[in-house]
Structure 1
Amino acid sequence: MRRLTCLSSTSARRHAESLRIANANDLTRARDKIWNRLEERYGSPELVELSLRQKLAAMSKIPNNDPKRLYELTDLLAEIQSIKDQHRYRNIMAYYDSSAGVNPVVTKLPNYLQNKWTTHASNYKKQSGVIYPPFNVFVDFLTDQAIKANDPSFDYSVRPENKVVNAPEKRKSCITASYHQKPVMVHNTEVDQKGVVQVLCPLHNTSHSLNECKAFQKKPIEERRKFMKAKGVCFRCCAVNLHIAKDCTESSITCQKCQSTAHCTALHTPGSYDASNNTYRTTMKSTSSDNEVRTKCTTLNCKEFSGRSCAKIVLIKVYRSTFPRNFKYVYALIDDQSNKSLASSEFFDGFGENGPEVEYTLTSCAGTFTTSGRRAGGYVAESVDGNSIMDLPPLIECNDIPNNREGIPLPNIAKHYPHLTDIATLIPPLCDDASICILIGRDMVDAHRVLEQRLGPKNTPFAQKLSLGWILIGEPCGRDAHWSDRVNVNKTQLLLNGRTSVFDPCSNYFNTKEVALKENCLFERTIEDDNRGLSIEDHQFLDIMDKEMIRNNNGHTGKLPFPCDPTVKRFLITRRML
């Protein structure tokens, strides 16, 4: 009874003293009442669970260099496990058997223990077929890890060096020596002594292996191989030992990320292993015994697609809206740099369009010039599969549409790329009877709308699904080493901004402007009405200057004498003025 009245809590002591005074003549009854009061006040399942949860929340994260704090956590978890096993507290503390109760505790563990628990829990789920390991499995795991982390036999911290008689004075720390110096092995005739496997990470010198080191796995595969070779790490079991991969005694290894038996977790390459048939998809060398070499262009015939660069060209069926039976297959160039839709003379002749010609201004990189052509409307464009039907805008006759058939997408090109194989059958084969005779501009905006897209690795073609069909964009091989076999000799061209260039001006940019024709334009007013016009003599003088005058280092020179005409006088006057 005296022990009950010496409770540490002030409120609990007050309850005990009050009940003892009330039952001073019957101490047994007083003791029972005190126990019942304490059980009601402090022993309810809700209060016990709240108290344990607050203790867990008050604990901070355990650093890697303080393994002794693992004992504090394991003691608290053991207390929770003991209370949880009681029938009274089983229901209210059942959430500790799920990730909702364990994950807050895992966040307080060192990083290497978090990774170990993830691997341990995943293997337990696969073996037992449960949603999550029970709480007692987590407590046993953490208790075992606390014992290992605090075992003095595996304490790799640097200690003071002890001098040994007749020993070399040059010494290194025990950690550095274990990786850079090979220990001396003394073999008995009966006992084969092997080196002890070190579990330290050579990169961080902490108690985790390379299979669990996330920083090491983020490095490129070639850099990882060089590092392991320099540190003497076995490429098979990934342990710092006295053997290499061919002498490794490990019976079997399994990559924890792709379940491959061909490499360890430290040498895993993301997206490289196909677990269904135990082969690699993107590596250059196969793991089979025949050492088969696989390159990216093994099945791609680069000669077949040499110089080809796929563009926005789609095969469509065109007909008049009033006569759909009379249709023609043509290739249409989808050009968002043109504000009007154009068609070649072949298109107009094929449908027998003999309407009046319309004058318009065509602007491209080659310059701006005025031309004329037929104009037609009332045509319909239909996709090859018949799923999309669109009305074409009024078409203007133009014979400067690029007719480069090497830019037409082909299904054979899509078959050579994994990200395009599913749409290869949706791209029609090359139609020899169809020519590129329509250019669809921004006046048909629905034809430019991208409905779906297929993107692949860098420097590979990609596909887009437009309203009129699938298109491919990019060079088929994706390498800069394949060039066109054609040799083009270009003369000097004049660009739109007045600069001279040996390159051909861009012919894919069109800007048309309609000019209305007037029958009586004699008294038409223009912005040049107030400018002084050139006389006949002026034109003759300019013609002589263009033909006779030559510029050299001394200035402008010309042949003398000039023809005896009125322009000679104007030339002399102009010379005096200069």
Structure 2
Amino acid sequence: MLNKLPSYIENKWRSIVSSCLKNGVNPTLVQFASFLSSRAEEANLPMLEGTRHTKDAPRTSKEEYKSKRKNWHSSLKTETTKTDSCAFCQSPHRLDECESFLVIPWSMRKKFIFSKQLCFKCCMPEHVAADCKATVKCQQCGDPHPTCLHTQPKKSHDNKCTLVCGDQYGCNDNSMIVPVWVRSKGSTIEKLVYCILDPQSNTSFVSDKVLQYLQLKGEHVQLKLSTLHASNHIVNCRRVNKLELLSYDRQTVMQLPTVYSRNEIPARRSQIPTPDVAAKWDHLKSLTNQIAPYMPEVPVALLIGNDVPQAIRPRDIIAGEENHPYGQRSALGWGIVGTICKPPAVSNRIISEDLTNSRVFSSTLYKEVITSSKVQEMMELDFADQNVGTMMSVEDKLFINTLRDGIRQREDGHYEMPLPLRNHNMQLPNNRLLAVKRLNSLKRRFSRNPTFKNDYFTFMEDVLAHCAEEVPAELLNLANGKVNYVPHTGLYHPRKPSQIRVVFDCSAIYQGTSLNNGLLPGPNQINSLLGVLLRFRRERVALMADIKGMFHQFFVNECDRDLLRFLWWKDSDLKNPVTEYRMMVHLFGATSSPGCANFGLKKAADDGEKHWGKEAADFVRNDFYVDDGIKSVSSPEDAIALMKSSTGLCADAGLRLHKWT
């Protein structure tokens, strides 16, 4: 709460805290509440309303104003030319326009600007925001801050809706908006944008900023537009040809006809489909791994009309009941169309809606009297530990039963369990052609980026040594519908730019299906993060550790390993022929892996409790969030004992508990 107060009030409270500490007492919450009440009364004195706290500065003459403005322009020009490269990637563009910088988490962007001592207004060096005279406007919300520091507004939860709502009360629907890559034909410069698929438009449009990024100019023309707002409206724009569109997974490429530019593409970001929306509807749950996660830094900058029928045409439909949203697959990916949440019959909210680009609707709302108990209930929402209870779906029960019946402990201590398939009679098409295509694309990337190649090969050598095996010769031509090839790619950790992780793409679609479509994710049995943190605060001595390579410590039954085949060069030499391997462990990228790893970890705690004690077993069972464990105990002796016992318990299960702090 203190962090949300203005700095001058925070400083006053610091003085009170300092006085209390000098007297040997700690300030109480009652004192803090009384302090806030006093400050609020001071700020709302009626007789001082509208007064200024500073003297009016003398008015500047017209000549002085022109002189200052001229000097400011020249100084700003001089200042901007001092830094002609991005502080993050050293490329010739501003930090606020850096694609690599915009994709890292917001907190890391803010920390980077602070560490480089850059201005938080214009992102330039040698001055601070208080002295900055640049005019800055966020490209996302229009507020006076750099685009790279834009944050999404927090969604409200006062209507206690059990489904997924949009970011505004009157906008609770999804449309066919999918992420795509756009580039000029023959160019290597490309940009990730959200694309609206609109069958009611007979023309396609792109934003001016995308054309500027792609270094395209186009021919200036006048276009006659007819919309609900105006008919035969003449607008000035540019006409561009030879644009190419790639699906988010880069598996589909299509040529666009003539495209016209607009200053911006009108759309509400709350209409972008997300995996969270799909997860809340039973008939759409299969799309949670097909729809890309929401990317707040990616602009809505492209609209494809019915002049590109291959993009607009529905390929598949997943429908629920008559009034439910439905899933639709286009050549560019899956989307969700329709109302995703019905407005409640009772609301405490006062609604103000901008009519621009909005629907006209009618609804009946009743105002509820807000009592003190309601206020207390709302205040406690943020501190409630979410408990999913014991209710499990049929698929969740199938997941648990499959692992419980199939898990076994190997001679080396590691646990081995089957892949939890939705249907044990599942038949998958042989997608080796897809894996070959993706491997060739990876090879071209190796030739362009030697550093990426070296990091990738180092990672794969470790995978081949500990986690994979070559497919036996007698199984190479196996054709029983239980053979699947998993493409793979490399990603760098945003906080560790030199650390690569090879991710196996179990969501790669071939002939309308993928491996993840046939895997059960299982029930959410991960410990509540809030509960782990609250228990961590109980005692005075704290300790923490994590499990090294958790997913790769749990093996897959041999009968299921052919579903995890992948292609790589023999002895990691590009000159050697491509060889078929198969993973022996659960993959980072399979929808079932988190559930399997969590099940195996709790199984290890249950099996090791008798030998290593209840304290170690409870620590592994209850105080781990995925692969990170934190715990507090009453004394250093207890901490040392817990470290030894829990490390031994994990070692018996083939798990390495390390990085003890």
Q: TM-score, normalised by structure 2?
A: 0.28
| Structure with the greater alpha carbon radius of gyration | 1
Structure 1-normalised TM-score? 0.32
Q: Which has the higher strand share?
A: 2
